[in-house]
Amino acid sequence: MDVLQRFLKYVKIDTPSNSENDAVWPSSKCQFNLANTLVAELKEMGVENAVVDENCYVYASLPANVENAGAAIGFIAHMDVVEAPKGYGVNPQVTKYSGGDIALLSGLKISPNDFPALNNYVGQDIVTSDGTTILGADDKAGVAEIMSLIKYLTDHPEIKHGKIGVAFTPDEEIGNGATMFNVERFGCDYAYTVDGEEIGEISYETFNGAAFIFNIKGVNIHPGVAKGKMINAIVLANEIISQFPATERPETTENREGYYFIMDVSGSVENAKVCGIVRDHDKSEFEKRKQFVNKVYNIMAEKYPNMVTLEVKDQYYNCAEVIKEHFHLVENAVAAMKAEGVTPIVMPIRGGTDGSGLSFKGLPCPNICTGGHNAHGLNEFISVQSMQKVVKILLNLVKAYAKN
């Protein structure tokens, strides 16, 4: 089974995490279906220590086959996909791309006019969904690439390597992928999350992230006699949202610019909720953004006593604080890509990965590409040839850490 066959198999296994159930591990039981599949495949490869734990984390390792090997290195990908726009019932299609638009079965088209990166893949094989769902390359491409690496190593015992750890995590898409990860059980000195996008991406900087929820209580009364009596929670929600700067949203920022993102608004006249996140690479700016959220709350609380409450929760921090002390991880990734003719693109992630939390748990963990594009959307696509190159890049990293 090659990397494409694995990928096509994995994306058809439903694994959306459930943001409404984030206090349960995992948030959706369907993730066990992929976890159990991966454990079975690993054991078929001869990796007898492969196991899935009660929280749906898959752990496995290959022992070193060379004396005085270098550091134990691990590779990590997440099994879950996003819930929306639709993360289940994926029906992948493969197109030999000769240029122009890619027509999906749903009637949707992926056009290089909208996504110029497509022009880089003329002559290659492009995998998409049928246009009714996401594809799930984030991060089932990473899962398939790591599994293909392990299969190659078990088929080629002549390749010398140190200890190689493998882990597949649940619930990364709802910010909990690293939460229950057992670093001691994983048993590696360093790791890479294989969870980036465009071929060549290397990221050792992430956002600092926090989530916030405004809970709003309203007062309902018949609209005919509502003057001076009704307090419409929906109107208060709109008032909260209007205080966030329009120039500091995801759709109006780029590169190292932070943002506020209102992700969900729900409710009625009597009760409403505004959910959002705060993101910034700079720790001091991150703290200022959280202070701004609290300022919005204070304004509302003064204007509408006892009608609004606020919850703010830190989610993860910029892993550059840890990885900069182990910069060989980045340097080796650069070398591994150049060896395959891939131009490294060292860039900060405008988001977070499992590697953010894992780095602060004592497992320095930068992120590298899978080859995918347009994650979390119906226009998601990935090149088969990019996936094949990523497998070779991972193999080069294995060889780099086999040296003492």
Domain boundaries along the sequence of the chain: 3-206+318-400, 208-316
Residue 22 pLDDT > 90: no
How many angstroms separate the Cα of 152 from the Cα of each of 42, 148, 395? 12, 6, 9
pLDDT in tens, 34-55: 999 999 999 999 999 999 999 9
Closest CA relative to residue 84, chosen from 383, 376, 334: 376
- Cα 360 to Cα 362: distance, rounded to the nearest angstrom: 5
Closest CA relative to residue 177, chosen from 396, 404, 389, 351: 351
Taking residues 83-93, what's their average pLDDT? Answer: 96
- Cα 207 to Cα 166: distance, rounded to the nearest angstrom: 25
Q: Are 305 and 189 in contact (CB under 8 A)?
A: no
Structure tokens belonging to residue 222:
């018949």
Name the 3-class secondary structure at 114.
coil
Helical (H) or strand (E) element with 273:
strand 271-280
> Higher-confidence residue: 353 or 192?
192
Measured in degrees and rounded to the nearest 5, phi and psi for residue 293 equal -60, -40
Taking residues 376-402, what's their average pLDDT? Answer: 97
- Cα 127 to Cα 381: distance, rounded to the nearest angstrom: 6
DSSP at 342: P
Q: 3-206+318-400 and 208-316: same fold?
A: no
Can you tell me which residue has the tokens 């959306």?
Answer: 16
Residue type, 36: N
Supply the pLDDT for residue 144. Answer: 98
Supply the pLDDT for residue 156. Answer: 97
Supply the pLDDT for residue 267. Answer: 96
Taking residues 89-94, what's their average pLDDT? Answer: 98
- Cα 20 to Cα 275: distance, rounded to the nearest angstrom: 12
Q: Kindly report the average pLDDT of the chain as a whole number.
A: 95
Supply the pLDDT for residue 68. Answer: 82
Domain 208-316 has CATH 3.40.50.2000: no
Query: Which DSSP string do the residues of 139-173 spell out, in sequence order?
Result: HHHHHHHHHHHHHHHHH-TTS----EEEEEES-GG
Supply the pLDDT for residue 404. Answer: 54
- Cα 177 to Cα 359: distance, rounded to the nearest angstrom: 13
Residue 20 pLDDT > 90: no
* 103 class by beta-carbon count within 10 Å (0-12 exposed, 13-18 middle, 19+ buried): middle
pLDDT in tens, 105-146: 999 999 999 999 999 999 999 999 999 999 999 999 999 999
Q: Which residues pair with 83 in a beta bridge?
A: none
- Cα 128 to Cα 136: distance, rounded to the nearest angstrom: 9
Name every residue whose Cβ is closer than 8 Å to that of residue 265 and which is 6 or more positions away in sequence: 237, 241, 272, 273, 274, 275
Structure tokens belonging to residue 18:
């459930």
- Cα 172 to Cα 76: distance, rounded to the nearest angstrom: 11
Share of the chain above pLDDT 70, in %: 100
Residue 324 pLDDT > 90: yes
Through-space distance between the first and last CA atoms of the chain, rounded to whole angstroms: 33
Overall CATH class of domain 3-206+318-400: alpha beta
Residue 62 pLDDT > 70: yes
- Cα 154 to Cα 107: distance, rounded to the nearest angstrom: 42
Residue 58 pLDDT > 80: yes
Supply the pLDDT for residue 318. Answer: 93
Supply the pLDDT for residue 70. Answer: 82
Structure tokens belonging to residue 189:
């000195």
Q: Which residues are catalytic?
A: 80, 172
